[in-house]
Homo-oligomer: A and B are copies of this chain.
Amino acid sequence: MIVAGGSGIRMKAGLPKQFLLLGGVPVLMHTVQVFYRYDPDIQIIVVLPASQVKEWERLCLEYAFSVPHKTGIGGDSRFHSVQKNLNFVPDHCLVAVHDGVRPLVSRETIERCFSQAERYGNAVPCVEIPESMRMVFPEGNKPADRTVYRLIQTPQVFKGVLLRKAYEQSYRPEFTDDASVVECLGEKIHLVHGNPENIKITLPHDLKMAEALLGDQYHL
């Protein structure tokens, strides 16, 4: 399940980030393609805000994008987008939930997530924090030991039954990603290595960095 934009609130550019061009092709197509290349039999569902579905279909025609996928309609937030579209997911499979704006996930990261989720019920990719950190408070700030923190990426992979059960819960503000929803069931989250290039394209300079990194990994 490739989730591309919840409500559209974070998209300040004229064009939603997932439709911006990366190497001449919309970001979201790169993302879909990586999973298809990983396994051509994978079932892909692209979840988009209702207002963007027509534009996505038009782009697929324009770019002759032929990777088989379903299109699902998102909700008011990322949580609701995933929740609504879990109906399409059969119980006895693994479900990977991935950000549409992370086209640089490596084949190895996807592989690790699926194989570890098979074994542990879930797998969440992460990377170490490359710089010094501080914690900020209203009254000041203090150092934080970066070695005990990890940056969390996607795809977050879960056994289908588990993820569906997790999303029967009502939304809470602390649900910042799928791992936090599943954890709330009392499940232990299993971290695996992500890849540092697997950045989320949210700022203009991210798109430039992605452009630079794209060359090495794959081309559409």
Tell me the A residues contacting B by CB distance below 8 Å: 126, 129-137, 140-144, 146, 148-153, 174, 176-177, 179-180, 183, 188-189, 191, 196-197, 200, 202-203, 205, 208-209, 211-213, 216
Contacts and interface: CB of A to CB of B under 8 A. Distances in A.
In the assembly, how many copies of this chain are there? 2
Contacts of A152: 131-134
B203 A196 contact: yes
* Interface of chain A, main secondary structure: mixed
B137 A151 contact: no
B205 A197 contact: yes
Nearest to A124: B134
Contacts of A179: 132, 134, 143
B177 A132 contact: yes
Contacts of A213: 205, 208-209
Nearest to A132: B152
